[in-house]
Amino acid sequence: MAINTTNEIDTKLYDLKKELELAKTSSNTSKTAQVHVKLGDFFSRLELYSEAIKNYQAYLDIHKTKDSGLVYIQNALSTINLDLKKYSEANKYAQNSLTISEDINYSRGKAKANALLGSVAEKQGNYEKALEFQKLSLSIFNVLNDSTGLASTNENIGSIYEDLEQYDLAYQYFKTANTYAKNSETDLQINIINNLGDVNRKTGNYSKALGYTEQALMLAQKTNNESQIESALKDLARTYADLGDYEKAYSYLNNQSIVNEQELRQNNAEIVSAMQVLYEVKEKEAEVKLLNKQNQINKVRQYIILTITGAIILALIVGLLYWKKRRKHEKHILEYQQQLLQADLDKKTAEEQALKREIDIKVSSLTNYSLHIAHKNKMLSDVSKTLTKLKGRNSELVKTKLQELASEIEADLNNNNEWTELMGYFGQIHPVFFKILKQSALEKLSSSEMRLCLLLRLNLSSKEIAEILRITSDSVRIARYRLRKKLPLDSKDDLQAYLLNL
C-alpha cells in the first residue's frame, strides 16, 4: 500500500500504534507480532530503517515458530541491509530465509531468498554467482506461475547482463519482464520500461529508447510517482544528449532537478511527519509509564518518609553518643601517639648522632692509618736505602748482616696484611664502592688499580699516594692515566671527583 501524503502517514502511524497498544493490553501475542510486522513495513517504505528493524526484531522476539511469517521477516531484514549496503548482513538474513524455506518446503520463500542472494552477489560484483541465484529464483517462480515474481526476477537478470554490457541478453530479459509486469505493481512496470529505454539508448536505438522512456514518464506522472518521474526525465536528458539535441537534454535535466528537489522535500516532509508522530506516541507512552510509576511511588512515599524520619532521629542520637565517646577516645590515642612519636624521634636522633660519631671516628682512623702506612713505608724505605749504601764500606760479616736486615725490611714492606686491614676499614665505611666501581669499569681492574681507586676515594694527594705505594709521582700520574682509560670518563672529567661520587 502506497503512502502519499503527510496526513495519510500521520493517520496510518496513529492507527498502527493504537492497534499495537490494544494487542498488548489484551495480551494477544499473535496479534502483537502481526502489528509489529505492519509497523516494520510502514517504516521500511519511509526508509526509516532503524525503526523498521526494531519492529521486525520485536516480531522475532515474540514469534519463534518456523513458518512463512518468519521467512518474510528474514527477507525484509535482508532487503533493508541490501539498501544500506551492508552486504554481509543482507547475505546472512537471505541465507536464514532460504534455510527456513527449505525446512518448511516454502517455495515462494525460496524464490525470494535466492533473488536476494543474487542481488547481494550482483552488488559485490560476483555476476556469475548472481546469475546462478537469480535463475534458481526464476525457475521456482515459473513453477508457481507467479507473474510478479517472474517480472521482478527477469528484470534482475536483465540488470546483471546490462552491467556485463551484454545488451542483447539484457533487452530480452527486460522484454520478458515487461510481459509479466502487466499484472504487477505500477512501480515495477515503470522500472522495467525505463530499463528497456536505457538498453536501447546504450545500443544506439534512440527512437525506441525515447518511446519506452516517454511511456515510463507517462505512467509515473499518472501515478504521481516522483521517484520514477525523476528517473525517466534523467534518461530522456541522456538520450537527447546522445542525439546531440542539447537544448532538449538541458530542458529534461532541469525538469529532473526540479522533480528531484520536490521529491526530496516530499520525502523529508513524510519522514519528519512520521518522526513527529512517533515522537508524540512515544512521549505519550512515556507519560503513561511515568504516571504508573508515580502512583507506585506515592503509595510507599509516606511509609518511606516516616521510616526515614525515625531512622534519622535514631541515627542522630546514636551518632551524637558515638561522636562524644569517639572524640574522647581519639584524644587519648592522639596523646599516646604524640608520646610514641617523640620517643621514636629522640631515639632516631640519638642513633643518628652515634652513627655520625662512629663514621667520623672510622674516617679519621682510616685516614690516619693510611698516613701511618705512608710514613712507615717512607721510613723503612729510607732505612733500606741507607743500609744498602753501607754494605760496601764494612767487612764481609757486616755486609752479610746488613743484607739480611735489608731483605727483612723489604719483606715487611711487601707484606699485604696491612692492605687487607685497610680494605676492611674502607669496606665498613663505603660498603658498595668496589661493587659499583667494578660494574661501571669498561675493563677489569687490577689489584694495584683497585688500591689506587681506594686512595683517591680517601681524597689523598698524588704525593701521599706515591709514598704509600712506594712509587714516584710520575708513576702515580701514569697509573692515573691508565685507570682513566678503563673508566667511563670523558677527557674533561675529573678522575678523583668521579670516584668521590661513587
CA distances from 409 to 157, 415, 461 (A): 118, 10, 26
- Residue-range domains of the chain with CATH: 430-502 (1.10.10.10)
| Crossing angle of the two packed helices 68-83 and 87-104, in degrees rounded to 10 | 160
Q: Taking residues 133-152, report their average pLDDT.
A: 92
- Residue predicted with more confidence, 340 or 462: 462
Per-residue pLDDT tens over the stretch 425-470: 888 888 899 999 999 999 999 989 999 999 999 889 999 899 888 8
Give the type of residue at 225.
Answer: N
Residue 273 has pLDDT above 70, yes or no: no
| pTM check: above 0.85 | no
CA distance 80 to 99: 19
CB 442 within 8 A of CB 487: yes
CA distances from 54 to 4, 60, 299, 399 (A): 24, 10, 35, 121
How high is the pLDDT of residue 97? 93
Per-residue pLDDT tens over the stretch 54-72: 999 999 999 888 899 999 9
- Among candidates 42, 36, 41, 69, which has minimal Cα distance to 55? 36
Residue 414 has pLDDT above 70, yes or no: no
Residue 200 has pLDDT above 90, yes or no: yes
Per-residue pLDDT tens over the stretch 219-234: 888 888 777 888 888 8
How high is the pLDDT of residue 289? 63
Phi, psi at residue 47, to the nearest 5°?
65, 25
Residue 269 has pLDDT above 70, yes or no: no
Give percent helix, percent strand, percent coil of the chain, each to the nearest 5. 85, 0, 15
- Among candidates 51, 62, 57, which has minimal Cα distance to 27? 62
- Of the listed ranges 65-69, 157-161, 333-337, 380-384, the one predicted with least confidence: 380-384
CA distance 345 to 347: 5
- Of the listed ranges 48-52, 108-112, 394-398, 490-494, the one predicted with least confidence: 394-398
CA distance 194 to 201: 11
Q: Taking residues 250-263, report their average pLDDT.
A: 64
How high is the pLDDT of residue 13? 82
- Among candidates 251, 481, 468, which has minimal Cα distance to 375? 468
pLDDT bucket at 339, cuts 50 / 70 / 90: confident
How high is the pLDDT of residue 359? 74
CA distance 14 to 31: 17
How high is the pLDDT of residue 270? 54
How high is the pLDDT of residue 3? 46
